[in-house]
Structure 1
Amino acid sequence: MDRQVPPLDGVHHLKLPVCDLERSREWFQSRLGYVTAMEFREDGKVMGLALNHANGGPRLALRLDPTKAAASSGFDFFSIGVPTKDALDQLSERLTELGDTHSGVQVASLGWILPGLSDPDGHEIRFYTTESHKKAPEGQVYIVDKARPSGDPSTTKQLPAVL
């Protein structure tokens, strides 16, 4: 192992600023199956939550910070992996049944994406399959042109991966 490259061990947790902890807790629990693992209190008031997922999802932290939540509305901080396209299709159907709007399952550069879902504070939550429909070239940078849709309706169902 190269001594210049420090050892890392994946993502410890994801964190979002929120306006209302209880509303966000309920949303992540009812939509994605998260459960509360920890509460962080300051001067007797709950200011943060740590949420766990029982079926492979990343740990998630919610921090009460209405100013930052409002300022970051519309931004996609992270994308959550889903193992297969079938699982992504099922998630899409579940979210639709719960009344959430999203952009539907679409083809991405290497797999499939479910974009356009917003949490209660307007943060976009994206889901990408870890299953791929093609393989990126090894040993070279994979170039994605037109990473954002052009507005042409014929391209909206064929989105490449968007960082």
Structure 2
Amino acid sequence: MADDSVPPLNGGTHINLTVRDLDRSTDWYCRALGFTVVRDARPVESGFTFRTLLHSRALTSIVLGQADRPVEEPFDEHRVGLHHLAFHVPEREDLHTWVAHLDAVGVEHGGVQELFLEAGHGVWLRDPDNIWLELYWLNADYFMQRMREHHRARRAERVGGQQ
């Protein structure tokens, strides 16, 4: 349950992903999802070469990192850590535009599907390292109603506790 005393967040802005081949992954994220390379960095003590990719329409970034030592095994969402990475689209119809784009650039995907856990619709795909990605539209009306119900229940608990 959410704690109202926790400071607010304003969305996610970036994620760092470890990849096996920095150039291959950079090409894929730029071609498939429309990211642009904005920075390369190699902090000596890190053991990584990093490349920052920015999506100009979402103001979100992905930092791809290739370790100095080889990483052989592909991503597996069944291990502890990241399960998948999701990007929100403004309108449900935008998912069909994404499907057409992914088809045009030769990226495999699962088509537009209803998302039962999140009350919306999404398109599932995998990057070159098998990282599971989701393009999704969230049914905001559904979640806003759930949030209102949550706040009403909390208010009722506080009022009931004062009597």
TM-score by length of 1: 0.71
Distance 1:118 1:57 in 2: 22
Q: 2:121 aligns with which of 112, 126, 133?
A: 112
Identify the structure with the greater helix proportion.
Answer: 2
Aligned to 1:97: 104
2:11 matched residue in structure 1 = 10
Are the equivalent residues in 1 in contact too, given 2:51–2:64 (CA < 8 A)? yes
**Could you say what secondary structure the match of 2:53 adopts?**
strand
CA shift, 1:95, in A, is 0.8
Unaligned runs of 5+ in 2: 151-163
* 1:49 aligns to 2:51 (yes or no): yes
Tell me: CA distance 1:48–1:93, structure 2 relative to 1, closer, same or farther (3 Å): same
1:125 matched to which residue of 2?
A: 133
Distance 2:64 2:25 in 1: 8
Query: How far apart in 1 are the matches of 2:40 and 2:131?
Result: 22
Number of residue pairs aligned between Structure 1 and Structure 2: 136
The separation in 2 between residues aligned to 1:129 and 1:19, in whole angstroms, is: 30
Q: 1:85 aligns with which of 92, 107, 110?
A: 92
Q: Larger C-alpha radius of gyration, 1 or 2? A: 2
TM-score (norm 2): 0.71
- 1:23-62 alignment runs, 5 A limit: 23-42=24-43, 47-56=49-58, 58-62=60-64
Distance 1:120 1:84, change over 3 A: same
AA aligned to 2:123 is L
Q: Percent identity?
A: 27
Aligned-residue CA RMSD (Å): 2.8
- 2-structure distance, mates of 1:21, 1:56: 22
Contact 1:37/1:52 (CA < 8 Å) preserved in 2?
yes
